[in-house]
Amino acid sequence: MASSLDVAKYLIHLAAPSEDEDVDCLCHLRLQKLLYYAQGWHLAAYNKPLFAGRIEAWKHGPVVRELYASFAGYGFAAIPPSAGADPPALTAREKEFVRAIWDEYKQYSATALRTMTHQEAPWREARGGLRPDVRCDHEITHSSMRAFFSPKYEERLNQLDPRIDKSMWEKSRQAIESGQVQATRDIRHELHRRRAGADPG
């Protein structure tokens, strides 16, 4: 599993200014919200976290606590591209996923992302009715993010291909969670046994 720092550095790397793109600076507040969205969508798509680390419901929105000190010194200023990296610890699939998150959310400023998270169930539920200006370190759990982002992910899939049956999608997810899905190597082994004439039972 990737570390939150690896994902953060890759987001900073992706956000580096280019001649053909005009995007807002990547400040610490904005980076933290992008990490939250990356984690939430990954839980929905793969049923597992993208990175290790506790996300908490702070007054300005979700924050990865273990990462806070690494970038807090920048305040609301832009994090320089030199703080980013293309971490070898991230797999090609993880990099592709993080890039998709960046492409989806790069249009939003730090303030817009904060407002969005304040309107969403994971942050609101974790705070348990506290006023938005009250300090809080309650955890935004994986289960709450999964519950919020999974229907949105299913909706995206349905938009891409209306033939997708949402009930079958849920059955598949439950089968994966309960370990009822065979690994590829087990399926190959079973096919090999059948071809060899062995009793499959």
pLDDT digits (tens, 9 = 90+) for 66-118: 999 999 999 889 999 999 999 999 999 999 999 999 999 999 999 999 999 99
**CA angle (96, 152, 104) in 5-degree steps:** 40
Q: What pLDDT sits at residue 200? A: 47
> Amino acid identity of 171?
K
Q: DSSP code of 55? A: E
Distance CA(53)–CA(46), nearest Å, equals: 17
Rounded to an integer, what distance in angstroms lies between the CA atom of residue 32 and that of residue 110? 9
- Does the pLDDT value for residue 5 go beyond 80? yes
pTM exceeds cut of 0.85: no
pLDDT band at 157 (very low <50, low <70, confident <90, very high): confident
Per-residue model confidence (pLDDT) at position 170: 66
